[in-house]
Amino acid sequence: MKRYLVEFGTGVDVHGGNVTKAAKKALRDAISHCCMTGLTEVAGLDKIGEQLHLKVKIATPFKEKLDVKEALTGLPAYKHIEVEVVDGGLTVDGMYIPELDHEGTGIVMVNAAITVCLDI
């Protein structure tokens, strides 16, 4: 297994402090910076679905509230994904607006790192 790319993302849930929503945004942010044309054009890979592996690291407060399966829906449906959840992120007081169906007053920030590895 060889590392090909490491990318980072940040996600924030401004209303309600939902770490799963923030993690999903962080993963979407990180993967949106990746255009891996080199996999086919340079490395000549022809079975990318089998050869591509993602190592995902999510840094979040309130790890116990994170729904990893839901957060991963922020990524394309890669076959091989390994996830590690660690303490991190940020919380800050926000505001509550009942008419907007918010979940609470907290603002939460989650960070994610995606390492793309190749089985070559």
pLDDT in tens, 7-50: 999 999 988 889 999 999 999 999 998 888 788 787 778 888 78
The percentage of the chain sitting over the pLDDT mark of 90, rounded to a whole number, equals 59
Secondary-structure class of domain 2-33+43-118 per CATH: alpha beta
Instruction: Indicate yes or no: pTM above 0.85.
Output: yes
Q: How confident is the model at residue 102 (pLDDT cuts 50, 70, 90)?
A: low
Q: What is the pLDDT of residues 39-52, one digit of tens each?
A: 878 777 888 878 88
Instruction: Yes or no: say if 114 and 55 are a contact pair by the CB < 8 Å rule.
Output: yes
pLDDT for position 101? 67
* Residues near 92 by beta carbon (within 8 Å), at least 6 away in sequence: 106, 107
Closest of 26, 43, 36, 32 to residue 85, by C-alpha: 26
- What is the average pLDDT score of the chain? 90
